[in-house]
Structure 1
Amino acid sequence: MDRSKKLSGRVAIITGAAQGIGASYASALADEGAAIVLADILDAEPLAQEIRQRGGKAMALKVDVTSASSVKSMVANSVEEFGSVDILINNAALFGNVQPKPFLQITSEEWDRMMSVNVRGAFECVKAVAPQMKKQKYGKIVNIASGTVFKGIPLMLHYVSSKGAIVAMTRCLARELGDDGVRVNTLAPGLVMSESVLDNPAWRGAVVQNNVNSRAIKRDATPEDMCGTMVYLCSSESDFVTGQVLVVDGGSVTH
């Protein structure tokens, strides 16, 4: 165990970790010494192999965050493989492939799907991991929201509403789990140029430039820009921080 690393000896589950920002979180936590569980409905084994080749510990699991049985198995497999679960990053969500549209054009089915993945998915994962963290009397849960919650942007009502729910969920969970040594916080990124966003024609040109112009630091955000804050929220450096929202968007939101 390398005690010079901030997460040495910790075990972290990252949902939606096969690509994009989730993959960056996983790599950053692995570099700080955590054993990584890559949970995704997509194949995360290539990233797991890459982390192991760098000398880290990692396993990939196929997980559907909307399935209670799937996330329960995820936690059981993590404990069996690595002995504990110390960190949960609720990163799995619908966003990159979503097409912005007026709320009058959002179907009931689209709304329900967004809430199922983005809100109930996070709920199912916390519910599955909480007994283990309570037993250990220690845990770090980082929920992922969005700077859009504090802006009220148009054309993404279902998405922004789902991320507002995540902020509220974080505050409630922090109260319920504080006496068990479990800290629950929210990281709220701005528009990050991840793989799925770059592949979506809706997130190009003036839409992106206007977002950049709203920032104090006027440049595109990369997945790596999120990682320092994520490591902080997962490490002992934030042991007296819970129920908080940390916006990482170059100063577009000053919350």
Structure 2
Amino acid sequence: MQKLKDRVAIITGGAQGIGAAYARAMAAEGARVAIADILDGTSLAKEIEAAGGRAMAVQVNVADETSVLAMAEAVNEHFGRIDILVNNAAVYASLQLKPFSEIDVAEWDKVMAVNVRGPFVCAKAVVPFMRSNGYGRIVNISSGTPFKGTPNLLHYVTSKGAILALSRALAREVGGDGICVNTLAPGLVLSEGVIQNTDMREKLTGPVLASRAIKRDQTPEDLIEPLLFLASDACAFMTGETLVVDGGSVMH
């Protein structure tokens, strides 16, 4: 039996990398998937439909509330409802490791706009549709880094720490509406972007692997089942929680 049969799921940042892996997996479990990305997700939507799933691509800038509201309206109009939001879009793999004193305010603001404002305005846009159906699952993607205080990425780590607090507070506001809000916190994942960022991979892979109880690289596939759990009926009595999936680097 498909875990997400006939549910409608929005995956931000879904056109490539980990987001694309989420979109494929959710479609395979019966969800009607909206690939919401600043990039064009049309080819992925066509791939999913060719495999027998249902998908649409909608371009959106998650840092812009007007763009996000238009995206939510388009998804609801196309599929007739919104059940699941995966707040995956984030600035990360393009960042360069540097001391906090070398991070300029413009770069800080860009990270915060996408990584913190984005999940806020996306939740604000979809919750009315979820409330009207008395059902919703919001999965916010954080990171293991806030638990470690990882250096040289202060803006990113701060933004992902904010996601933990956002999820907890939002869970209390919408729990009475049948909406569960939880956080998925991956470790260092060998996504397309991380593989291409040589500096990040060379400086972080060794220490991260050494810190893990399970001594191997993490792939997007390691996140699929935990994501499906948080997006499904299986977590109906779980909200405001953080699920860390990083091979045992963080244990909390």
Query: TM-score range, shorter-chain basis?
Result: over 0.9
Residue 202 of structure 1 aligns to a residue in which SS?
Answer: helix
- How far apart are 1:5 and its partner, in Å? 0.3
Q: Does 1:169 align with 2:196?
A: no
- How far apart are 1:206 and its partner, in Å? 5.0
- How far apart are 1:189 and its partner, in Å? 0.4
- CA deviation string 1:133-164 (max 9, x = no partner): 11111000000000001000100000000000
Once residues 13 and 202 of structure 2 are traced to their aligned partners in structure 1, the CA distance between those partners, rounded to angstroms, is: 27
Q: How does 1:76-155 map to 2 (within 5 A)?
A: 76-155=73-152
- How far apart are 1:209 and its partner, in Å? 1.8
Task: Detail structure 1 runs of 4+ shifted over 2 Å in the superposition.
Answer: 203-207
Residue 160 of structure 1 aligns to a residue in which SS?
Answer: helix
Once residues 199 and 5 of structure 2 are traced to their aligned partners in structure 1, the CA distance between those partners, rounded to angstroms, is: 40
What are structure 1's unaligned runs of at least 5 residues? none
Once residues 232 and 106 of structure 2 are traced to their aligned partners in structure 1, the CA distance between those partners, rounded to angstroms, is: 39
Q: Please name the residue that 2:198 is paired with.
A: 201
Q: Which amino acid in 2 is paired with 1:152?
A: G
- CA deviation string 1:201-245 (max 9, x = no partner): 122335202211110101000011111100000111111110000
Which shifted more, 141-150 or 70-79?
A: 70-79
Once residues 130 and 204 of structure 2 are traced to their aligned partners in structure 1, the CA distance between those partners, rounded to angstroms, is: 41
What is the RMSD of the two structures over their aligned residues, measured on CA atoms? 0.7
Q: Please name the residue that 2:245 is paired with.
A: 248
Once residues 116 and 203 of structure 1 are traced to their aligned partners in structure 2, the CA distance between those partners, rounded to angstroms, is: 22
Residue 162 of structure 2 aligns to a residue in which SS?
Answer: helix
Q: Which amino acid in 2 is paired with 1:217?
A: I
Q: Which amino acid in 2 is paired with 1:237?
A: A
Q: Please name the residue that 1:230 is paired with.
A: 227
Identity of aligned residues (%): 56
Q: Does 1:187 align with 2:194?
A: no
- Relative to the length of structure 2, the TM-score reads 0.99
- How far apart are 1:94 and its partner, in Å? 0.2
Residue 201 of structure 2 aligns to a residue in which SS?
Answer: coil
Q: Which amino acid in 2 is paired with 1:96?
A: A
Residue 204 of structure 1 aligns to a residue in which SS?
Answer: helix
CA contact under 8 A between 2:100 and 2:152: conserved in structure 1?
yes
The count of residues paired between Structure 1 and Structure 2 equals 252
Once residues 245 and 94 of structure 2 are traced to their aligned partners in structure 1, the CA distance between those partners, rounded to angstroms, is: 21
Q: Which amino acid in 2 is paired with 1:232?
A: F
- CA deviation string 1:43-102 (max 9, x = no partner): 111110110000000000010001111111111111111110000000000001100100
Q: Please name the residue that 2:157 is paired with.
A: 160
Once residues 233 and 41 of structure 1 are traced to their aligned partners in structure 2, the CA distance between those partners, rounded to angstroms, is: 25
